[in-house]
Chains A and B, each alone.
Chain A
């Protein structure tokens, strides 16, 4: 665990005691016990119980994952800033326990916009040692780098209260909140600061914008994203999730936006991204220009599912991102393995 700012001091013991005290008070004041079924109320924010201790909040700007421990709450992403009040109200219908960790899956504002407001309600950092009081905001180091970059580099100014307070800069970091929480960092996928968060006992993984089942993946080149890194990340997720019988359910996957997924959904998504990558790569190798690639309609068979003509991420933007990425790397040797051919035939 690398402290990114307000470096941790020798106050850990005091912090632990305070944590316990706060938790005990919270338990005493809470109208909900761990055994009670949380009350799900209809509001602008929709609540979906995924399984185990994990819930998915929909409508806050991005999907927000809520994990309920006996003493504390863990969030994955915080949605848009203007939705924080309603997000918090939705969380409070599930638990009155303090928020301990907020894990950001990327630097995107629709995933980090509620950091400040929601962290302030938390308790991990007391503020006694001079650090920012409230919940710990966890992210890959690249997220902090981008949030704190000079104004000429970053897109918009991000308040210091929204910055990650605890970062990691290797491939994995583990937390615990009444179950193991395993955070893994795929390299250069949607961005270069992505995290996927696996709640091991609940058997739920929250993956941010690496999976968006209702539109093509956003390859944010300006934030270090890449098409091949995206495919690698999708394969990394597929390796973690285990389906129940008949390739359904089992480990559930909470995407950055859109409906709840399982391995089959992610596999179909991976297949689509790989096929489109291969088609565009083939055209790039033939020397086609971007306009020629667009004219070839390499996404035609998937546009009705994932495409868009308007909005923040159109089909053209996706094709252009993949084209530019592959054009930069087309002179690199092809590492893909070959395989014997086989006639397409009848399956089952």
Chain B
């Protein structure tokens, strides 16, 4: 009888404890707070022209990158473009994350992120809603839905405007999609992104960014209003015609990398490529001092 009594007391205690313990089935983690970016293995703050190393790109993407010129930012229509969601975490600056809850159930229905660059605010829907149809407009943040997988938040994003694989002209097409994992370890947050692009990538591109909790960080406003800053003809579209971009050899020459390696491709992502690298011809000699040269693209 005494043993039964003990068992009843123990069961009551367990039930009491279970009622106040976090729900293990959800294993949700609080992501909210102000976060500062740390230098990560995949940070590429200022990529060189022609540096395509370590990226699983195809020939179409190489031509896209070879044709690109930073004069694009002189086009008024492109002046105030933010980074799309799959690239925004790579831009410098802090980030704020906060949750939106259902007033009755207290469930988190949405996570929001806001990055410093242009103050882009993103919503991750947690209520299981479907993604929009194909004919809906695309946005910089895309349409994101999230669900918890253990203590990781898995976020699936579609409807992204065209963005970047690397910010030196390598584009991520508007057919690209992203899956991200938000993983918190104490005061640290790791965001793993897996980008798929049937147009420009031959394999998924996996990258990580790291953040540290910084409660004192104040996210400043960052506004941009496009205006006519540089006098150009109407409809001016700057670009290099195929075979005319003389800056493509600068990067391999500067770092002593074989030109073929600088052109990237899936094989350049893997350690085995070091063996092939040793067999490739050296980079081209430094070019003579450059002189101004016109790029193509004035409107008729």
Contact = CB atoms under 8 A, between A and B. Distances in A.
A304 B232 contact: no
A274 B77 CA distance: 15
A348 B77 CA distance: 15
Per CB-CB distance, the 10 closest pairs between chain A and chain B, nearest first, are A304-B199, A336-B298, A341-B292, A301-B64, A274-B237, A235-B235, A260-B137, A301-B63, A267-B77, A346-B46
A271 B237 contact: yes
Contacts of A234: 235
B138 A344 contact: no
Interface in B222-276: 223-226, 232-237, 239-242, 245, 247
Interface residues of B, number: 71
A247 B69 contact: no
Contact of B138 (A265, A296, A303, A337): A265
B267 to A, nearest CB: 21
B135 A248 contact: no
A308 to B, nearest CB: 13
Interface string A238-265: 1000010111110010000011111111
B237 A259 contact: no
B25 to A, nearest CB: 34
B136 A259 contact: yes
A55 B174 CA distance: 23
Contacts, number: 165
Contacts of A282: 241, 296
Interface in A35-57: 46, 48, 56
Contact of B49 (A258, A274, A336, A344): A344
A20 B81 CA distance: 47
B47 interface: yes
A270 interface: yes
Given A303-B60, A304-B60, A305-B199, A278 B296 contact: yes
A58 interface: yes
A246 B118 contact: yes
Given A265-B161, A301-B67, 14 more contacts: A234-B235, A259-B135, A268-B174, A270-B237, A274-B237, A298-B242, A302-B60, A304-B173, A305-B174, A339-B298, A342-B70, A342-B71, A348-B117, A348-B167
B173 A264 contact: no
B89 interface: no
A246 B135 contact: no
A300 interface: yes
Contact of A247 (B80, B247, B299): B80
B289 to A, nearest CB: 12
A340 interface: yes
27 contacts: A48-B135, A48-B136, A56-B135, A231-B235, A234-B235, A245-B225, A246-B81, A246-B120, A246-B224, A248-B161, A260-B135, A271-B237, A274-B237, A300-B59, A300-B60, A301-B67, A304-B198, A305-B174, A305-B199, A336-B299, A337-B233, A337-B298, A339-B295, A341-B294, A343-B290, A344-B70, A344-B168
B139 A268 contact: no
Given A231-B300, A246-B224, A275 B290 contact: no
A263 B77 contact: yes
B90 to A, nearest CB: 11
Interface in B128-165: 133-140, 161-162
A342 B138 contact: no
Contact of A335 (B81, B225, B245, B300): B300
Interface of A: 46, 48, 56, 58, 228, 231-232, 234-235, 238, 243, 245-249, 252, 258-265, 267-268, 270-271, 274-275, 278-279, 282, 296, 298, 300-305, 334-348
Contacts of B68: 344
Nearest to A329: B300
Nearest to B68: A344
B72 interface: yes
Contacts of A298: 242
B217 interface: no
A48 B173 CA distance: 24
B61 interface: yes
B50 to A, nearest CB: 9
B78 interface: yes
Interface in B38-75: 46-47, 49, 59-61, 63-64, 67-73, 75
Contacts of A228: 300
Contacts of B134: 259
A152 to B, nearest CB: 33
Contact of B71 (A304, A336, A344): A344
B297 interface: yes
B273 to A, nearest CB: 24
Given A238-B77, A252-B137, A259-B136, A341 B234 contact: no
A231 B234 CA distance: 11
